[in-house]
A and B are shown apart, each in its own frame.
Chain A
Amino acid sequence: MALPNLASASGRKTAAKSANKTSFKSGGEFTGRNSLDFSKDEDLHAYREMLLIRRFEEKAGQLYGMGFIGGFCHLYIGQEAVVVGMQMAQKDGDQVITAYRDHGHMLATGMSARGVMAELTGRRGGYSKGKGGSMHMFSKEKHFYGGHGIVGAQVSLGTGLAFANRYRGNDSVSVAYFGDGAANQGQVYESFNMAALWKLPIVYIVENNRYAMGTSTSRATAQSNYSLRGSGFGIPGIQVDGMDVRAVKAAGDEAMEHCRSGNGPIILEMLTYRYRGHSMSDPAKYRSKDEVQKMRSEHDPIEQVRKRLLDKGWSNEDELKGIDKDIRDIVSDSADFAQADPEPDASELYTDILL
């Protein structure tokens, strides 16, 4: 199977190209307004955040293998640049909602590694007291609204979060993530229609990792340019190199500004890739090892930043090793906590059903 071209950031000033210029009416194209370049601090921040997600997910995979984590466990490895770049474009109060490949989103919003890992192991110190699991975690404090197990449902819910922002007249923006698989669900388009009709402040992010479980986008849709999926409603869309955290942030900045200026919804299609199977039990036989290896060696989001930091002399191997060690400590601590923390008390069975 041929790999779709990833929009390359190199040699262009812009992070992204407008896939739908004609219907974008808010007075500008997505070109050149946001610099691709990261400062040293931004690159170091992105490196740290992405590495935390990667190491966390690797550890989760280990704990799954050891039987500490049960049920479904969907790892985010490979897609880290998407949530980290978007989070850098958001401001406090913006809401985030996603489906079940959600650990990275939670860590990016600032939820604690301990709380997330303990939820994965079903312990009382988890974000949902062990009652939610991998797919169902929430944090009011961090404006993270889950963690949803029904493909596509979070898109309508996220649209409702945006509705609440508009209702209250605040300038918060809802960021609703969904995959290329969910993009074929009916309620996504019901939501697009209402969001465009009511000019709701929402950024729809299609994390196009090319496979809905085992079905490649080319086998699932006649229109695999997901940035165009809002065109029938006049929703502008941008295709973004989702493996380049700078491109993600630049597109995110544009999108957030678009929403905060009262222009209604916008779609960002993040071209990304998951290295692991759909879930822990997926052998991923629907794609070649070469395909995965090519993505890892040529487009890895973390390696890109690492190389930049070294090339520009902004960091050195020793400092990066130090960061790596800090991250490993955080993750090990979360894993220790998640294994030692007791299971929820039996009395929790009947709590939190009704208020």
Chain B
Amino acid sequence: MPIDILMPALSPTMEEGTLSKWLKQEGDKVSSGDVIAEIETDKATMEVEAVDEGVIGKLLVAAGTENVKVNTKIAVLLADGESADSISADAPAETPAAPKADADTPAAASNDAGGKARESSSEPTAQADSKVPAQPKVEALADPDIPAGTEMVMTTVREALRDAMAEEMRRDENVFVMGEEVAEYQGAYKITQGLLQEFGDRRVVDTPITEHGFAGVGVGAAMAGLRPIVEFMTFNFAMQAIDQIINSAAKTLYMSGGQMGAPIVFRGPNGAAARVGAQHSQDFSAWYSQIPGLKVVMPYTAADAKGLLKAAIRDPNPVVFLENEILYGQSFEVPKLDDFVLPIGKARIHKTGKDATIVSFGIGMTYAVKAVAELEKEGIDVELIDLRTIRPMDLPTVIESVKKTGRLVTVEEGYPQNSVGTEIATRVMQQAFDYLDAPVLTIAGKDVPMPYAANLEKLALPNVGEVVQAVKTVCYK
């Protein structure tokens, strides 16, 4: 039997990649462990090794081909005596519901995060409901903070974050970035790509794996007047540092009677990625949102990521800036402006509507956007608010919307108890009770540690169907 060689998933969020180079040609004999190709992911160029022995019967995808989907058949390996004649380049071999880190997939192990390896299936949100269209039709409203007529450039969240840091580092000598693998490795998730080359190792500082310690070093440097950007490889690891974030960074201004604060940004991916299990899949938005003295930002789009990160770096207060690994590779329009800074603490109306309001933020928006498109087809016109900042929370924008629609659903990935959604529900109940025509419903992750199994993980996260159903419920439909 000829063996199919499939396009492997080589990064936590890889859905497709460029087959940049074949290192073996048709007719070449390969042994297990031979490098047969180079594949460029969204993060790096990786070598693909052969798992099995044999002779390359046919290369099905030409070198240089872009956007090759994960699990596409890229080559066929023949055993002794087998012929290449019968091989044809058929459709991508979809292995239904197979986790990508399949033992049959060559070079499946991605170890980019220094032993904190994460594997990824494709974006989990998309498969939650088969009825959901692949491309949501909801167009984002123009942000009123962007001047009309501004040229927009498609940019990934990853690039937007990098650009924000680079621009602020050019602007202010006191700004520097520190964290694990931020310099020579170019960022565990490639957010700091190129910064070392431009700014040098004085301002782009690789730290040991020592979250508690380097968070404290960052806060100390901020107390001395520098403007550190502390990158956590993920916020899961920042739990080791949470004492310095809360007890030192957030409280010093108050404890010093206003004499001394900590102008610092703690940033990094937050929340679930994909298939990384309980300890690497936690959303901290509700945790940090409870702390006076902190600002908490959680952007969804690339434009918000850029404009708000620039604002966070300039902010004289400690800012917890919660990113999301799955969003890093997604592209959005970003205004081409010399200095695009957005206000922290201001929600953005993603889409206006009259029948119900959805409030979400960060990756929660991916469910909300799809649900809104779905509901539109059913004649329900939803107003979608992207909170963008969790603390201080732009409740007036939410309440204005509720006054119009009378119905509210919140969407987030974090745990359901004491979630951001329950906080919004409480405040809307207290401040806009008379405008509500239905109880506020809160969609959140399930009240369980994140399971590893693909099916259970899907169940643990919110899904578009739940959001659609919740909106229908509050609309009594």
Residue numbers of A with Cβ under 8 A of B are 95, 97, 126-132, 136-140, 145-150, 153, 155-165, 167, 186-187, 190-191, 193-194, 197, 351-355
Closest CB of chain A to B190's CB: distance in Å?
24
A9 to B111, CA, bound (A): 56
- The reply to whether B254 and A156 form a contact with Cβ atoms under 8 Å apart is no
With A167-B176, A354-B295 already in contact, the answer to whether A160 and B255 are too (CB < 8 A) is no
Q: Which of B202, B214, B216, B257 contacts A167 (CB 8 A)?
A: B202
Q: Which of A140, A149, A156 contacts B215 (CB 8 A)?
A: A156
Residues in chain B near residue A129, CB distance under 8 A? 257-258
Closest CB of chain A to B145's CB: distance in Å?
21
A191 to B212, CA, bound (A): 9
Majority SS of interface residues in chain A? Answer: mixed
A351 to B226, CA, bound (A): 23
A54 to B176, CA, bound (A): 43
Q: Which of B208, B216, B218, B316 contacts A187 (CB 8 A)?
A: B216
- The reply to whether A194 and B207 form a contact with Cβ atoms under 8 Å apart is yes
Instruction: Report the nearest B residue to A137, measured CB to CB.
Output: B256
A-B pairs, top 8 by smallest CB distance, nearest first, are: A160-B220, A156-B216, A190-B213, A164-B224, A129-B257, A128-B257, A157-B220, A136-B255
A161 to B215, CA, bound (A): 13
Q: Which of B208, B222, B243, B259 contacts A160 (CB 8 A)?
A: B222
Residues in chain A near residue B223, CB distance under 8 A? 145, 157, 160-161
In the complex, per-residue mask of B222-251: 1 if CB is within 8 Å of any chain A CB, else 0? 111110000000000000000110011000
- The reply to whether B256 and A194 form a contact with Cβ atoms under 8 Å apart is no
For window 244-298 of chain B, which residues contact chain A by CB distance below 8 Å?
Answer: 244, 247-248, 252-261, 292-293, 295
Closest CB of chain A to B237's CB: distance in Å?
13
Closest CB of chain A to B89's CB: distance in Å?
53
- The reply to whether A352 and B253 form a contact with Cβ atoms under 8 Å apart is yes
- The reply to whether B208 and A140 form a contact with Cβ atoms under 8 Å apart is no
With A126-B257, A354-B253, A355-B316 already in contact, the answer to whether A156 and B208 are too (CB < 8 A) is no
Q: Which of B216, B244, B256 contacts A138 (CB 8 A)?
A: B256
Residues in chain A near residue B418, CB distance under 8 A? none
Is B317 engaged at the interface, CB distance under 8 Å to the other chain?
yes
Inter-chain pairs besides A145-B220, A145-B224, A156-B244, 10 sampled, C-beta below 8 Å = A129-B258, A156-B214, A158-B220, A159-B216, A160-B217, A160-B218, A163-B217, A190-B214, A194-B208, A352-B258
- The reply to whether B214 and A164 form a contact with Cβ atoms under 8 Å apart is no
Chain B residues bordering chain A, tally (CB within 8 A): 39
- The reply to whether B256 and A128 form a contact with Cβ atoms under 8 Å apart is yes
A157 to B261, CA, bound (A): 13
- The reply to whether B214 and A127 form a contact with Cβ atoms under 8 Å apart is no
With A161-B224, A164-B221, A164-B226 already in contact, the answer to whether A131 and B216 are too (CB < 8 A) is no
Instruction: Report the nearest B residue to A136, measured CB to CB.
Output: B255
In the complex, per-residue mask of B123-155: 1 if CB is within 8 Å of any chain A CB, else 0? 000000000000000000000000000000000
A157 to B218, CA, bound (A): 8
Is B210 engaged at the interface, CB distance under 8 Å to the other chain?
yes
Residues in chain A near residue B217, CB distance under 8 A? 156-157, 159-160, 163, 191, 194
- The reply to whether A159 and B220 form a contact with Cβ atoms under 8 Å apart is yes
Residues in chain A near residue B218, CB distance under 8 A? 160
Closest CB of chain B to A79's CB: distance in Å?
23
A102 to B40, CA, bound (A): 56
Instruction: Report the nearest B residue to A127, measured CB to CB.
Output: B257
Q: Which of B176, B210, B222 contacts A190 (CB 8 A)?
A: B210
Closest CB of chain B to A267's CB: distance in Å?
16
A307 to B221, CA, bound (A): 43
A186 to B14, CA, bound (A): 37
Closest CB of chain A to B408's CB: distance in Å?
27
Closest CB of chain B to A121's CB: distance in Å?
14
